[in-house]
Amino acid sequence: MKIVVLKFGGTSVGSTDRIKKVSKIITSYIKKKYKVIVAPSAMKGVTNDLIRKSKEISNNFISDEYDVLVSSGEQMSCSLIAGSLNHLGYKSRSWLGWQVPILTEGGFSKARIKYIYKKNIMKYLKSGGIPIVAGFQGINSNSRITTIGRGGTDASAIMLARFFNAEKCIIYTDVEGVYTTDPNTIKKAKKIKVISYEEMLEMASLGAKVMQPHSIQDARLNRIDIDVRSSFKQTSGTLITKRKNILSNKIIRGVSFTKNDAKITLVGVKDRPGVAASIFEPLYINSINVDMVVQNISSNGRETDLTFTIKSEDSVKTEKLLKKNKKINFRKIIVDKKVSKVSIIGVGMITTPGVTYRMFNALAKKNINIIVISTSEIKISVLLNRRDLNKAVNILHKEFRLEK
């Protein structure tokens, strides 16, 4: 049995007209003798609207009910697609996470798919039906509804492909594939034909919204090839696959950026062994993710400055936690929400010297100040003033000849 999993993102199912278009894409695979499993997102804007509603009730909306609420958008798109396929004369029905069931582990809003029961959907596929399985949702061991993080339908599709042993997993979205940088921000962005899991994971984690980072981890662990393409245009897309399958010798594959960072500096921290751990412990307990960290060497052995970045939405909470932390002493706290992080990504930098220099030099030539730097084997990130963001992305795109 040739199975294909088709994921449709929010814009792709954003209106009833779009649902009709998507139904045509689905039936085109049926005509090619595929058994199709569909994983749709909620219609564009619906999940954001549900989140807004929860905030109107409480800024601390109870986490288990929050997941019941925000997962409900996918129920609507599933039934609309099934209804549309029925209208065209095809057998189709919706499956919510608890009906499959899709088992998840981990806390509400950040669960991960652990197991998908196959029996009923398999039977349905064999009988010629088209199952529409709600993305983004599952249940935990107490049968409570869970969600798997924003953009999570990507991971739902990949895990469906894994458990059903699909021949293909196709992510239909509103751009033609994965680009060297966000094509909606930088006009010269170029579509990437093939990219490794490692590079895609870095690009996604560092801000390329086109794929959810967890979904790429799931794909890499299970060796699922992903085809990212447009639901609006019939053009070839991007293949995300293992490194061995890639011949191209690009040093840098892409430039990612984020706009929602905040920088916190603690000035005059009393230095002693364990101080960094004392600063970050309450942030960890409150699930606040710390990204870049720099600590100056204390010149007199007594005091130091420590700078780190977090998501801007966490900045108020972080400031409060730092101020009430009895284990640390500092003179002043500075919060800067007008920063952005720009990263260059590519496995080629492992073997090519001088990439760091080229990046810093290109930014310096345009008078762009670097605030914080962090590197890994296949990426270099710099924190900048947000007003320099577009200029920086453009100049790095050019420096590493990504438009070619």
Q: What's the closest the beta carbon of residue 231 comes to ligand ADP, in angstroms?
A: 8
Helix pair angle (197-205, 213-222), 10° resolution: 160
Distance CA 21, CA 13 (A): 9
Binding mask 120-159 for ligand ADP (x = CB under 6 A): -------------------------------x--------
Q: Specify the stretch interacting with ligand ADP by CB under 6 A; choose among 52-60, 79-87, 178-186, 317-325.
A: 178-186
> Is 74 within 8 Å of 58 (Cβ atoms)?
no
C-beta of 151: minimal distance to Mg ion in Å? 4
> 73 touches which of ligand ASP, Mg ion, ligand ADP, none (CB within 5 to 8 A by kind)?
ligand ASP
Residue 135, interface with Mg ion (CB under 5 A)?
A: no
DSSP bridge pairs for 343: 256, 381
Which of ligand ASP, Mg ion, ligand ADP, none interacts with 178 (beta carbon under 5 to 8 A by kind)?
A: ligand ADP
Q: Which residues contact 145 (CB under 8 A, 6 or more apart)?
A: 64, 67, 68, 71, 97, 98, 137, 138, 139
Q: Does 151 bind Mg ion (CB under 5 A)?
A: yes
Task: Provide the pairing of β-strand 3-8 with 194-196.
Answer: unpaired
Q: Are 330 and 270 in contact (CB under 8 A)?
A: yes
CB of 234 to Mg ion, least distance (A): 21
Q: Are strands 303-311 and 254-270 parallel, antiparallel or unpaired?
A: antiparallel
| Binding to ligand ADP in span 247-286, by CB under 6 A | 254
Pick one of 174, 225, 305, 403: the residue that binds ligand ADP (CB under 6 A).
Answer: 174
Contact region with ligand ADP (CB under 6 A), list: 71-79, 181-189, 242-250, 274-282: 181-189
> What is the total count of residues that contact Mg ion (CB under 5 A)?
2
CB of 207 vs Mg ion, minimal distance in Å = 13
Q: Which is nearer to ligand ASP, 54 or 325 (CB)?
A: 54
Least distance (Å) between residue 102 CB and ligand ADP: 18
Taking CB under 6 A as the criterion, the residue among 83, 106, 183, 348 binding ligand ADP is 183
Minimum distance from residue 52 beta carbon to ligand ASP (Å): 12
Write out the residues near ligand ASP by the rule CB under 6 A: 10, 41-42, 47, 73, 135-136, 150-153
**Min separation Cβ 302 and ligand ADP, Å:** 45
Nearer to ligand ADP by C-beta: 129 or 254? 254
The Cα 383–Cα 170 span in angstroms is 34
Please, which residue, 146 or 238, has the CB nearer to ligand ADP? Answer: 238
- Residue 183 touches which of ligand ASP, ligand ADP, Mg ion, none (Cβ within 5-8 Å per kind): ligand ADP
Q: Min. distance of Cβ 28 from Mg ion in angstroms?
A: 22
Q: Kindly list the residues in this chain that would bind Mg ion in the complex (CB under 5 A).
A: 9, 151
Q: Kindly list the residues in this chain that would bind ligand ADP in the complex (CB under 6 A).
A: 9-12, 41, 151, 173-175, 178-179, 181-184, 203, 208-210, 254
